[in-house]
Structure 1
Amino acid sequence: MAQVDLEKVTKVYDNKVVAVKEATLTVQDKEFVVLLGPSGCGKTTTLRMIAGLEEITSGTIKIDGKVVNDVEPKDRDIAMVFQNYALYPHMTVYENMAFGLKLRKFPKDEIERRVKEAAKILGIEQLLDRKPRQLSGGQRQRVAVGRAIVRNPKVFLFDEPLSNLDAKLRVQMKSELKKLHHRLNATIVYVTHDQVEAMTMANKIVVMKDGIIQQIGSPNEIYNMPANMFVAGFIGSPAMNFINATLVAENGGIWVKTTGFKVKVVKEHEQTLEKWIDKEVVFGIRPENIFDKLFAMAPQPENTIQGTVDVVEPLGSETLLHVTAGEDSLVAKVDPRTKAQEGEKIDLVFDMNTIHVFDKETQQAII
């Protein structure tokens, strides 16, 4: 397997649209890296440039230390799995999986060994004589993955491979791809717009927006230490609450003051926030870090607010509360035993150790 390096890779289309701007990224050998972002953020274009299916405008791409800017896709030793599976309808599963090896003039017995081995890994041995039209979506996806595995490439590239599957199959295929990664010790670059896929599968996540890499980090880093408001809002479900606020110095501490509440910053953050006192900022807190006071551990007046419940959404293992405090609206993910009723007041407790504060102008994280 191999390391993939992108150095200031840019793609500008003929109509002067910048699809990717100076992307710099290292995918380590055997790493599972996910390119994550909304539609049109440049993640698929980046993948296609690694594959050689898209010409780069400037910058350098290396695979296994070798510059591949001008190397044909077939000579890059990569295998790509597409969103629509791209199987040949007139060929059997066996023929689809064997096709690339036949083109490369592999011996017949070697082709058979590789196809059967891949089919066994993916649990599709009994499907080898079928045509794609006789398969379910999940089975077709396995065949597409199998066709990549038999090539034994240096790098696997996946372009939204699960987006055509139903929710149950997607969960199943997610864990299978993760297992496959461990089994093959493969270098994988995987594109998705689904943050749950990214968080559960990746060693490293690359968050993109408007062709620019916003942040690179482990799932925990991206979730707990987002670089800016875009990353903070894109990761997590429901999304992080963002509330316009002012930082004020009162009673020997620093407080976050909004139109609807005032909460005290923990000591560890005071030094960082000192120079932001009396300035407008954006206060961020995730719904899962807001608790119904009745079920909160050691609530204190300085981290408790009162609001009015607008909507109650019971989800079984948790309940979402949409609450208004002053002019501010927020969502709390609380204990399902909550007695909250729509239209009634509620006391909510913030976990102030988990808050985020952003520069209102640049939207970059302060803490």
Structure 2
Amino acid sequence: MAQVELEKVTKIYDNKVVAVKEATFTVNDKEFCVLLGPSGCGKTTTLRMIAGLEEVTSGIIKIDGKIVNDVEPKDRDIAMVFQNYALYPHMTVYENMAFGLKLRKFPKDEIDRRVREAARILGIEDLLDRKPRQLSGGQRQRVAVGRAIVRNPKVFLFDEPLSNLDAKLRVQMRSELKKLHHRLGATIIYVTHDQVEAMTMADKIVVMKDGVIQQIGTPFEVYNKPKNLFVAGFIGSPAMNFVNATVIAKGGGIWIKTSGFEVKVVKEHEPILEKWIDKEVIFGIRPENIFDKLFAVAPQPENTVTGVVDVVEPLGSETLLHVKCGEDVLVARVDPRTQAQEGARIDLVFDMNRIHVFDKDTQEAII
């Protein structure tokens, strides 16, 4: 397997549209790296440039330490799995998986060994004689992955491979791909717009927006320490709550004041926010860090806010509350035993150790 390096890689199309701007990141050997972002953010274009299917306007791409900008796709020692499977309908599963090896003039016994080994790993040994039209979506996806595995490439590239599957099958295939990654010890670059896929599978996440990399980090880092408002809002479901606020000094402490509540900042955050006193900021807190006061541990007046319940969404293992506080509506993920009723008042407790504060102008994280 191999390391993949991008140094200031840019793609500008003929109509002057900048699809990717100075993308710089490294995917280490045997790492599972996910390119994550909304549709049109440049993640698939980045993947296609690594594959050699798109020409690089400027910058350098290295695979295994060698510059591959001018190397043909077939000579880059990569294998790509597409969203639409791209199987040959007239060939059997066995023939689809063997086709690339036949083109490369591999001996028949070596082809057979590789195909059957890949089929065993993926649990599709009993499908080798079938045609693609006789397979379910999940089975077709396994065949597409198997066709990549038999190549034994240095790098696997996946372009939204699970987007055509139903929700239950997507969950199953996520865990199978993760297990496959451990078994093969492969270097994988995986494109998706689904942040749950990214969080559950990745060793490293590259978050993109409008062709620009916003943040690179582990799932833990991009979730708990987002660098800006976009990353904070894109990762997490339900999304982080954002409220326009002002930092104020009161009673020897620093508080966050909004249209509907005031909460006191913990001591460790005070030095950071001192220079923001009397300035407008954006206050952020995730739904799971807001608690129904009846089930909160040691609530204090300075981290408790009162609002009116707008919507109650019982989900079995948890309940989502939409609570109107002043001009803003907060979403709280609370204990399912909550007695909250729509239209009733409720006290909510914030975990002030888990808050986020953003610069209103630059949208960069302050805390």
TM-score (norm 2): 1.00
**Cross-structure match for 2:68:** 68
Q: C-alpha distance in 2, partners of 1:146/1:11?
A: 31
**Cross-structure match for 2:83:** 83
Query: 1:204 aligned to 2:212?
Result: no
**Cross-structure match for 2:334:** 334
Deviations 1:273-315 (A, max 9, x none): 1111110000000000000000000000000000000100101
The Cα shift of 1:42 comes to: 0.2
Q: Does the residue aligned with 1:118 lie in a helix, a strand or coil? A: helix
Q: C-alpha distance in 2, partners of 1:142/1:327?
A: 50
Q: C-alpha distance in 2, partners of 1:326/1:243?
A: 10
**Cross-structure match for 1:227:** 227
The Cα shift of 1:327 comes to: 1.0
Q: Does the residue aligned with 1:139 lie in a helix, a strand or coil? A: helix
**Cross-structure match for 1:298:** 298
**Cross-structure match for 2:268:** 268
Q: C-alpha distance in 2, partners of 1:140/1:181?
A: 19
**Cross-structure match for 2:132:** 132
**Cross-structure match for 1:18:** 18
Unmatched runs of 5 consecutive residues or more in structure 1: none
Deviations 1:65-114 (A, max 9, x none): 00000000000000000000000000000000000000000000000000
**Cross-structure match for 2:242:** 242
Q: C-alpha distance in 2, partners of 1:22/1:134?
A: 44
Equivalent residues in 2 for 1:17-56 (5 A)? 17-56=17-56
The Cα shift of 1:264 comes to: 0.3
Query: 1:358 aligned to 2:345?
Result: no
The Cα shift of 1:117 comes to: 0.3
The Cα shift of 1:329 comes to: 1.3
Task: Please report the RMSD computed on the Cα atoms of aligned residues, expressed in angstroms.
Answer: 0.3
**Cross-structure match for 2:102:** 102
Q: Does the residue aligned with 1:302 lie in a helix, a strand or coil? A: helix
Q: C-alpha distance in 1, partners of 2:143/2:76?
A: 22
Q: Does the residue aligned with 2:106 lie in a helix, a strand or coil? A: coil
Residue 200 of structure 2 aligns with an amino acid whose one-letter code is T
Q: Does the residue aligned with 2:91 lie in a helix, a strand or coil? A: coil
**Cross-structure match for 2:255:** 255
Q: C-alpha distance in 2, partners of 1:132/1:99?
A: 14
Residue 200 of structure 1 aligns with an amino acid whose one-letter code is T
Q: C-alpha distance in 2, partners of 1:268/1:91?
A: 64
Residue 321 of structure 2 aligns with an amino acid whose one-letter code is L
The Cα shift of 1:328 comes to: 1.6
Q: Does the residue aligned with 1:271 lie in a helix, a strand or coil? A: helix
Equivalent residues in 2 for 1:302-321 (5 A)? 302-321=302-321
Identical-pair percentage: 87
Q: Does the residue aligned with 2:176 lie in a helix, a strand or coil? A: helix
Q: C-alpha distance in 2, partners of 1:333/1:42?
A: 33
Q: C-alpha distance in 2, partners of 1:44/1:185?
A: 23
Residue 256 of structure 1 aligns with an amino acid whose one-letter code is I
Q: Does the residue aligned with 2:71 lie in a helix, a strand or coil? A: coil
**Cross-structure match for 1:325:** 325
Q: C-alpha distance in 2, partners of 1:135/1:327?
A: 52
Residue 84 of structure 1 aligns with an amino acid whose one-letter code is N
Q: C-alpha distance in 2, partners of 1:233/1:317?
A: 23
Query: 1:142 aligned to 2:111?
Result: no
**Cross-structure match for 1:217:** 217
Residue 245 of structure 1 aligns with an amino acid whose one-letter code is A
The Cα shift of 1:178 comes to: 0.1
Q: C-alpha distance in 1, partners of 2:166/2:189?
A: 22
Residue 60 of structure 2 aligns with an amino acid whose one-letter code is T
**Count of aligned positions:** 367
Q: C-alpha distance in 2, partners of 1:261/1:88?
A: 61
The Cα shift of 1:252 comes to: 1.0
Q: C-alpha distance in 1, partners of 2:40/2:68?
A: 25
Q: C-alpha distance in 2, partners of 1:164/1:252?
A: 56
Q: C-alpha distance in 1, partners of 2:197/2:327?
A: 35
Residue 154 of structure 1 aligns with an amino acid whose one-letter code is K
Q: C-alpha distance in 2, partners of 1:88/1:326?
A: 59
